[in-house]
């Protein structure tokens, strides 16, 4: 009996949670702005998801459900480590950019021209940095919408905020990002 329950749970985890780990890691990465903290958050969130995977009623809600757990783990970490006023870009996240350029160049199989890969990767890193520079409440709204592709309703549920707040945070996030983008474009970083 016990073994069966465990098997079912493991199966559900493989079907519903595992395919969403990239989404989970993306959110954790942008929220924490630290690759190794993001890994710890996703590991903790996966364990919690595993323990409660039976409560998922349908596969359709699995992604938002997992992301909600990731977000809770992030805020718990943030509170615990007293990073609440941690706002600007930190040295660590700039330091690891060099390795991520080469990693991601490996992934970009579609266009093998080294010059173009470099340009595209630099542009991508520049935009990632700008997103990371947004205050956390705007950053999460933007990432949940544009990178995790959640609907307003899902974001409202996940963040326990009214839809109106989701709407205004997303609008603010885009406005801030647009301004940063224009500044960077002025410096020639972005076209």
Partner 1 sequence: MNCDETARWIDPLVDGELDARNTAEVQAHLAGCQGCQGRYEAHRTLSSSIRGMDLGYSAPESLRQRINEALEAETSSTATEGKSSVKERASARRGQVPARSGASRWLMWAGWPVAVAASAMLATVLLQQRSMEADDVVAAHVRSLLVDHLNDVVSTDHHTVKPWFAGKIDFSPPVPDLKSRGFELVGGRLDYVQRQPVAAVIYRKHGHIINVLAALPGHGLGELSHSERVQGYSLRAWRQAGLDLVAISDIDPRELVTLEEGYESPPPQSAD
127, 133, 184, 189: which one contacts partner 1 (CB under 8 A)?
127
96, 97, 181, 189: which one contacts partner 1 (CB under 8 A)?
181
106, 107, 113, 187: which one contacts partner 1 (CB under 8 A)?
107
Told to check if 189 binds partner 1 by CB under 8 A, we report: no
Report the residue number, 22 or 87, with the smaller CB distance to partner 1.
Answer: 22
Judge whether 33 and 54 are in contact, CB under 8 Å.
Answer: no
Task: Please give the size of the binding site for partner 1, defined by CB under 8 A.
Answer: 64
Cα gap 177→90, rounded to integer Å: 18
Told to check if 185 binds partner 1 by CB under 8 A, we report: no
Token representation of residue 37:
């903290």
Alpha helices in the chain (DSSP H): 2-12, 21-32, 35-51, 62-80, 91-95, 97-107, 114-133, 136-142, 152-159, 163-186
Query: For residues 139-178, which are near partner 1 according to CB under 8 A?
Result: 145-147, 151-153, 156-157, 160, 162-164, 167-168, 170-171, 174-175, 177-178
Query: For residues 80-99, which are near partner 1 according to CB under 8 A?
Result: 80-81
Shortest spacing between CB 82 and partner 1, in angstroms: 11
Q: Length of the chain in residues, anyone? A: 191
Angle at 42 between CA 40 and CA 46, to 5 degrees: 120
């Amino acid at each position: 009996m016990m073994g069966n329950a465990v098997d079912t749970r493991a199966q559900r985890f493989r079907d519903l949670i595992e395919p969403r780990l990239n989404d989970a890691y993306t959110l954790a990465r942008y929220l924490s702005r630290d690759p190794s903290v993001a890994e710890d958050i996703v590991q903790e969130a996966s364990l919690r998801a595993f323990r409660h995977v039976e409560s998922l009623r349908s596969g359709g809600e699995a992604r938002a459900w997992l992301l909600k757990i990731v977000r809770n783990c992030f805020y718990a970490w943030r509170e615990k480590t007293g990073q609440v006023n941690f706002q600007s870009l930190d040295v660590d996240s700039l330091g690891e950019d060099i390795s991520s350029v080469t990693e991601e160049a490996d992934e970009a199989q579609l266009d093998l021209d080294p010059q173009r890969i470099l340009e595209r990767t630099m542009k991508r890193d520049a935009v990632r940095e700008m997103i990371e520079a947004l205050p956390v409440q705007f950053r999460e709204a933007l990432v949940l919408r544009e990178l995790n592709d959640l609907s307003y309703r899902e974001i409202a549920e996940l963040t326990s905020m009214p839809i109106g707040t989701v709407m205004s945070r997303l609008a603010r996030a885009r406005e801030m990002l647009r301004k940063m983008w224009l500044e960077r474009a002025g410096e020639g970083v972005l076209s």
